[in-house]
């Protein structure tokens, strides 16, 4: 039995401040831009105000990209366009500045943090700060064996909680969350299918590099077989993560929940983060109020998970690369919403924009010169 009581998160997580949100909505009504003219940007600004408990909303000044990394044994079945065990190479490319997330983060001035939970590579080949939370080398092949032991799942979950605390304590005010994994979308598909009560084919996508039809069929079969192993443990979310998740997914789930506890907003990237968020919702139903969906990646599992959580993606650019790139693309939109909500002036009290006639002197009454005003 695990010593971790996930039910505590239900009590610890509060919703964003509803009273502050109403104040933000009232302020929107007084701004010079008519309500609705800025579309979803208005809603985003009000969501941020509630999350911050501040009107006007504070600017997003210290965002951070956090990427959880791991290799999944199921990748050995040929379910990914990348070779099994190659996530470590991707991590090194991110660190060296050669991946899309690296370019975007550099352009936006956002630091990137990578947390190795289960990479199948020599820990000495990566910086100590990256590997210090590693639980194991690679997660198990979920179609025939557990991804983790229960103790490993608990350790990974607690690591995610610790990373969330570190970010909140350091002053991070918004997180763009992503993953660097090989085989991660397969594990994510299993979690989504299990929690949504659907079949493997409904959640099986083609991954970041668009696998061919044969690989898609192998992936669908792997998700189907893993689903049989997932269904008996649906009532225990930590056991579910141990059975068909992985160390990176368990850590992301803990991270998301603790961010909600610490009132730290998170932008979700793709299907892997969406699957972890869905597990988090099952643990604490108020937690999704602290998360935004960055974009529609085209993965059916992501669409299923976001629909279940009532989260609508901010963007639809067809980005499938993962690694937090989609979350970073959405960041300027969130920052723009905060700026507009805070900096747009309010209408003057006598502006005449309320439907009342303006006091312009053109009323037919005598003017100061004694002549009647022209009509």
Catalytic positions:
323
The tally of CA atoms less than 13 A away on the side-chain side of residue 292 is: 29
Measure the CA–CA gap between 91 and 111, rounded to whole angstroms: 15
Q: Are 330 and 311 in contact (CB under 8 A)?
A: no
CA-to-CA distance for 266 and 289, rounded, in angstroms? 10
Dist CA 72 CA 138 (whole Å): 6
Strand partners, 65: 112, 176
Q: How many residues comprise the chain?
A: 375
Using CA atoms, how far residue 282 sits from 7, 42, 124, 276, in Å, is: 10, 29, 37, 10
Listing from the earlier edge strand, what are the strands of the sheet with 63-71? 112-118, 63-71, 174-182, 266-268, 291-293
Cβ proximity of 174 and 271 under 8 Å? no
């Amino acid at each position: 039995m695990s010593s971790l009581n996930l039910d505590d998160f239900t009590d610890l997580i509060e919703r964003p401040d509803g009273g502050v949100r109403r104040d933000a909505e009232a302020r929107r009504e007084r701004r010079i831009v008519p309500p609705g003219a800025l579309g979803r940007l208005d809603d985003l600004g009000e969501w941020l105000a509630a999350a911050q408990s501040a009107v006007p909303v504070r600017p997003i000044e210290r965002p951070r990209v956090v990427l959880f990394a791991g290799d999944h044994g199921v990748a050995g079945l040929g379910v990914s366009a990348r070779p099994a065990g190659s996530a470590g190479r991707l991590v090194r490319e991110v660190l060296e500045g050669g991946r899309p997330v690296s370019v975007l983060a550099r352009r936006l001035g956002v630091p990137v943090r990578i947390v190795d939970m289960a990479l199948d590579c020599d820990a000495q080949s990566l910086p100590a700060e990256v590997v210090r939370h590693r639980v194991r080398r690679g997660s198990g092949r979920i179609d025939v064996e557990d991804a983790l032991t229960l103790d490993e799942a608990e350790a990974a979950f607690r690591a995610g909680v610790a990373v969330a605390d570190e970010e909140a304590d350091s002053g991070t005010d918004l997180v763009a969350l992503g993953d660097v994994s090989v085989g991660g979308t397969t594990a994510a598909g299993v979690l989504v299918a299990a929690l949504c009560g659907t079949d493997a084919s409904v959640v099986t996508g083609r991954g970041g590099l668009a696998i061919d039809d044969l690989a898609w069929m192998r992936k669908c079969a792997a998700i189907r077989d893993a689903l049989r192993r997932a269904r008996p443990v649906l009532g225990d979310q930590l056991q579910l993560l141990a059975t068909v998740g992985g160390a990176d997914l368990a850590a992301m789930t803990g991270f998301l929940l603790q961010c909600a506890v610490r009132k730290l907003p998170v932008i979700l990237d793709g299907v892997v983060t969406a699957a972890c968020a869905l597990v988090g919702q099952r643990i604490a139903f108020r937690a999704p109020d602290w998360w935004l969906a960055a974009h529609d990646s085209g993965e059916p599992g992501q669409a299923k998970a976001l629909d279940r959580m009532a989260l609508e993606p901010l963007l639809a650019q067809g980005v499938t690369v993962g690694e937090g790139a989609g979350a970073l693309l959405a960041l300027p939109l969130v920052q723009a919403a905060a700026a507009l909500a805070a900096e747009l002036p309010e209408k003057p009290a006598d502006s005449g924009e309320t439907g009342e006639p303006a006091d312009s002197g053109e009323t037919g009454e005598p003017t100061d010169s004694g002549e009647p005003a022209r009509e």
